[in-house]
Structure 1
Amino acid sequence: MNKINRREFFKLAGLSVLSIGAFPSVGFSALKGSVKFKHGGEDYSPDTNRIRKSIPSACWQCVSRDSTLCFVENDRLVKIEGNPKAIRNRGKICSKGQAAVNQVYDPDRILYPFRRKPGTPRGGGQWERITWEQAYNELVSKLQPLLDKGEPEKFMFHYGRMKGSDSKIVKSCFLAAFGTKTIGNHTTICEGGKWTAQELVWGKHYDTNDVEHTKMILNFGCNFYEAHTSHIQISQRAMNAQMNGAKLYTFDVRLSNTAAKSNEWLPVKPGTDHVVILAMSKVIMDAGLYDADF
């Protein structure tokens, strides 16, 4: 009987999950180019048994922007998987990234400017399509008075997730030239608090960690084995760290998936995480357990 270790088991289990990710869809003109797999591996259509073209791309379902391969059949996008040559996500993406095919072909996807029909109540869902020229003119008619009054900051720009260079062009060019810093987006209710704290601590709002080579992880409320800004990268590396002997201690009000996979789950009362951290810090300082040279 062949023996299989834990690491090999997880690899095989991961491949099994990826193998069921194919589903058909319609309506997309593919980009040029294709990726050749190592050892001659190919992806086939379950309907036609034909080889599908694979096109390298990037996932925009979250800020991770994992490298992907988009599989195309008859000039239509039919499946998305992780790019095996990617150094960050190492050939894996989450289910949200795989489901991005649905976003491309969503029947409610907005491709043109709309406005609420004149005389209809807000929230009534009564819209009419207008031309881009009409949209530009209406925007100018609303923005120009603010400039004339010297009150550009009263214009608030709120957006979801902008793609590619859109963010740089809109924020650094248009909004800066207009004179407003009143900007909001999905990060306000997503990572806003975390970004502010990290900017105050080390000067940048993004965090970079080496969790794969750490010996101990103190985790406060983060459920990275289930959901995280860099879910695929973090979960892969944290799992490798634990398999290499790293200890994971999770402080959380509930037994999350990450807490369940921790060496120890320490339940805390809601809103008392900072109290625990301050108490631990006091013990470290009083006992001289900190690295003074560092």
Structure 2
Amino acid sequence: MTPPIEQPKNCGLSRRDFMKAGAIAGGTVAFLGGLPGFNRIMEARAQGEEGEFVYPLADPANQIYTVCLQCNTGCGIKVKLLDGIAAKIDGNPFHPMTMYPHIPYDTPVAELGAVEGALCPKGQAGLQSVYDPYRLVSVLKRKPGTPRGGGEWETISFEQAIEEIVEGGDLFGEGHVPGLRESYALRDEHIAEEMDAAIKEILAEKDPEAKQALIEAFKEEFADYLDVMIDPDHPDFGPKNNQFVFAWGRLKDARKDFIKRFLHAYGTNNAHGHTTVCQGSLYFTGKAMSEQYIDGKWQGGSKFYWQGDVGNSEFIIFVGCSPFEGNYGPPLRSPRIMKNSVEQGAKFAVVDPRFSKTAAKAWKWLPAMPGTEGAMAMALIQWIIDNERYNRPYLRAVNEAAANLNGDPTWTEAAWLVKLDEDGKPGNFLRASEIGLREPEERPKSSNPDETYLFDYFVTMVNGEPVAFDPYEQDPENAVRGDLFVDDVELEGIRVKSVLQIISDAAHEHTLEEWAEICGVDVQDLIDIAFEFTNHGTRAVADIHRGVSQHTNGFYNVYAWYTLNALIGNYDLEGGLLKASTYKADGSKSGQPF
């Protein structure tokens, strides 16, 4: 007699549960059979003859190539139609976001009906967005006679919307509302250019009396056009054209180019997109950190952000982002991360209050309290400084010549001297002329060689002695490497600190244990991550996104994590931090294939 088969003690699935699951599975098939088009697809597969497309969605004639807008990544997609209805969405095999390496662009589309790129569930759920019964497909207008915020709306045609937006009128039963035609007050482009130059001169003037004199001169020069100004006594408000504000959430190239050209032609400066509640903090931190000292002032920074080279890093800290679920595209980043992890042994840690899919695969997960990302960065900075695990040669280089000798593409201000006020708070960089070290030099402006400006050298300490330097000096004979920690030294009556000392002071405002308590994590976990982060040379990276930046204090959070990366000198290096870049939709980027 065969003994009864016993269910393993550690099995959580009973026979009854298994039978229920089987019934549910059968019900699922029945449910799918009730979906529009499902039976049509199954019938086509069964009835196809030789030489015909058995699966109608694989017929290139039933496919449309476009771009996914389910998130900001903008992956290329292939939408498959059945009787004119979108039935399935997959990745576009021509698109580098969804297939790596992507199919050559000269491949005939007719050959790719059954070739799919990858696409995340959010992208595939685009069908749900398209056919959502609550999707807005018409223009909604606040119902006349109802208050703002009352939640009462009426549907109007696009033609009516355009007319009311352009012409204005008593649109809400509350009196006249000006339209775009009325706000389009200043139309003479030559007068606009002259006004712009005069207003810039007013804004640049710092003396109150001189500024007021310029305002009066403006009113006299443009007396015939004061009626088009928002406020003639405040020319900086500009013309009434600026009363037209165009605000958006997300705007990608092509659409953005078209819209901004229209706004520029209209004459309004008020074109505004997402702010610090989105990822604006990432862009503006990148802008601040990329500013260069040009023609006597800091300028020229670009609105961009750095991303980790996750395909080549040996250790990654993902902070406030989950590339296996979101971030800048699971189809793009996930394969590179996992390939690097499996084939090269790369490790990654995740800082996220939620146990995400990325955290599930991590070497270490730190469930930090929401909003404490900046505190964690400061904790890691503190440990790295205290244990001297930073990239000393990289940080000591104060000019380009020293960076070149190191073989580094970038350099920092870590050893530059900063003046302190009477309360010990840091302010501007110390200049050589302020301590009698070196007189300013007259130099031609890069923007206009016929004009000059005074270049005042910056200062660092070298073996305890002040040394003047030009950060853009390329002659190796003039390479300067400064002291990293200068703590409240007085030079000719001016108190100074080095930049890295100021950063260290901020990182030591709390003990490591206090930082850990703020974050809600174990001290040892912080130590482990800081040690691992500094154990791979420049092939380690802290990769951040909106979990760090999407706050009103996001700029400082981002700056803290970017500073952490700077401590190991991984900027613009393989396996470190790279500038996120793409081809331009208008085809203007050099070397792009379209």
| TM-score, normalised with respect to structure 1 | 0.72
* Residue type at the aligned position of 2:140: F
Pick from 163, 170, 177: which aligns with 2:265?
177
User: In structure 2, how many angstroms separate the alpha carbons of the residues matched to 1:81 and 1:122?
Assistant: 42
User: In structure 2, how many angstroms separate the alpha carbons of the residues matched to 1:179 and 1:278?
Assistant: 46
Over the aligned positions, Cα root-mean-square deviation in angstroms equals 3.2
Question: Which region of structure 1 is more displaced relative to structure 2, 225-234 or 139-148?
Answer: 139-148
Partner secondary structure for residue 232 of structure 1: helix
Pick from 259, 282, 291: which aligns with 2:385?
282
* Residue type at the aligned position of 1:45: I
Question: Which region of structure 1 is more displaced relative to structure 2, 179-188 or 256-265?
Answer: 179-188
CA contact (8 A) 1:25 1:105 kept: no
CA contact (8 A) 2:183 2:243 kept: no
Pick from 132, 156, 161: which aligns with 1:130?
156
Q: State the Cα deviation string for residues 144-165 of structure 1 (Å, max 9, x = none).
A: 2474332433432222345762
Unaligned 5+ residue runs, structure 2? 1-28, 46-54, 100-116, 169-177, 186-227, 231-238, 291-301, 395-405, 409-594
1:58 matched to 2:67? The reply is yes
Q: State the Cα deviation string for residues 8-51 of structure 1 (Å, max 9, x = none).
A: xxxxxxxxxxxx9x99669xxxxxxxxxxxxxxxxx92354352
User: In structure 2, how many angstroms separate the alpha carbons of the residues matched to 1:159 and 1:288?
Assistant: 42
* Residue type at the aligned position of 2:286: Q
Pick from 271, 274, 281: which aligns with 1:193?
281
Q: CA deviation at 1:98?
A: 0.7
Written as runs of structure 1 = structure 2, the 5 A alignment for 1:44-55 is 45-46=41-42, 48-49=44-45, 50-52=55-57, 53-55=62-64
Q: State the Cα deviation string for residues 195-214 of structure 1 (Å, max 9, x = none).
A: 22223334341445431122
Pick from 325, 332, 338: which aligns with 1:239?
338
Aligned residue number for residue 3 of structure 1: none
* Residue type at the aligned position of 1:191: Q
Aligned residue number for residue 9 of structure 1: none
Q: CA deviation at 1:77?
A: 1.2
User: Are residues 130 and 289 of structure 1, via their aligned partners in 2, closer, same or farther at CA, if it must alter by over 3 Å?
Assistant: closer
CA contact (8 A) 1:25 1:77 kept: no
User: In structure 2, how many angstroms separate the alpha carbons of the residues matched to 1:170 and 1:145?
Assistant: 18
Aligned residue number for residue 29 of structure 1: none
Name the count of aligned residue pairs.
255
CA contact (8 A) 1:61 1:96 kept: yes
User: Are residues 64 and 184 of structure 1, via their aligned partners in 2, closer, same or farther at CA, if it must alter by over 3 Å?
Assistant: same
* Residue type at the aligned position of 1:46: M
Written as runs of structure 1 = structure 2, the 5 A alignment for 1:1-294 is 45-46=41-42, 48-49=44-45, 50-52=55-57, 53-90=62-99, 91-140=117-166, 141=168, 142=178, 143=180, 144-145=182-183, 147=185, 148=228, 149=230, 150-162=239-251, 165-171=254-260, 173-186=261-274, 188-202=276-290, 203-207=302-306, 209-244=308-343, 245-268=345-368, 270-271=371-372, 272-280=375-383, 282-283=385-386, 286=388, 289-290=391-392, 292=394, 293=406, 294=408
Q: CA deviation at 1:187?
A: 5.7
CA contact (8 A) 1:220 1:273 kept: no
User: Are residues 117 and 274 of structure 1, via their aligned partners in 2, closer, same or farther at CA, if it must alter by over 3 Å?
Assistant: same
User: Are residues 198 and 277 of structure 1, via their aligned partners in 2, closer, same or farther at CA, if it must alter by over 3 Å?
Assistant: farther
CA contact (8 A) 1:25 1:78 kept: no
Unaligned 5+ residue runs, structure 1? 1-19, 27-43
User: In structure 1, how many angstroms separate the alpha carbons of the residues matched to 2:154 and 2:146?
Assistant: 11
User: Are residues 196 and 96 of structure 1, via their aligned partners in 2, closer, same or farther at CA, if it must alter by over 3 Å?
Assistant: same
User: Are residues 188 and 107 of structure 1, via their aligned partners in 2, closer, same or farther at CA, if it must alter by over 3 Å?
Assistant: farther
User: Are residues 282 and 176 of structure 1, via their aligned partners in 2, closer, same or farther at CA, if it must alter by over 3 Å?
Assistant: farther
* Residue type at the aligned position of 2:323: F
User: In structure 2, how many angstroms separate the alpha carbons of the residues matched to 1:75 and 1:253?
Assistant: 44
User: In structure 1, how many angstroms separate the alpha carbons of the residues matched to 2:288 and 2:366?
Assistant: 27
User: Are residues 180 and 146 of structure 1, via their aligned partners in 2, closer, same or farther at CA, if it must alter by over 3 Å?
Assistant: same
User: Are residues 288 and 128 of structure 1, via their aligned partners in 2, closer, same or farther at CA, if it must alter by over 3 Å?
Assistant: closer
Determine which structure has greater relative contact order: mean sequence separation of CA pairs < 8 Å that are 6+ residues apart, divided by chain length: 2
CA contact (8 A) 2:65 2:79 kept: yes
User: In structure 2, how many angstroms separate the alpha carbons of the residues matched to 1:273 and 1:138?
Assistant: 52
User: Are residues 234 and 158 of structure 1, via their aligned partners in 2, closer, same or farther at CA, if it must alter by over 3 Å?
Assistant: same
CA contact (8 A) 1:211 1:238 kept: yes
CA contact (8 A) 1:25 1:101 kept: no
| TM-score, normalised with respect to structure 2 | 0.38
User: In structure 2, how many angstroms separate the alpha carbons of the residues matched to 1:255 and 1:106?
Assistant: 30
Q: CA deviation at 1:219?
A: 2.5
CA contact (8 A) 1:69 1:81 kept: yes
CA contact (8 A) 1:225 1:231 kept: yes
Q: CA deviation at 1:229?
A: 2.8
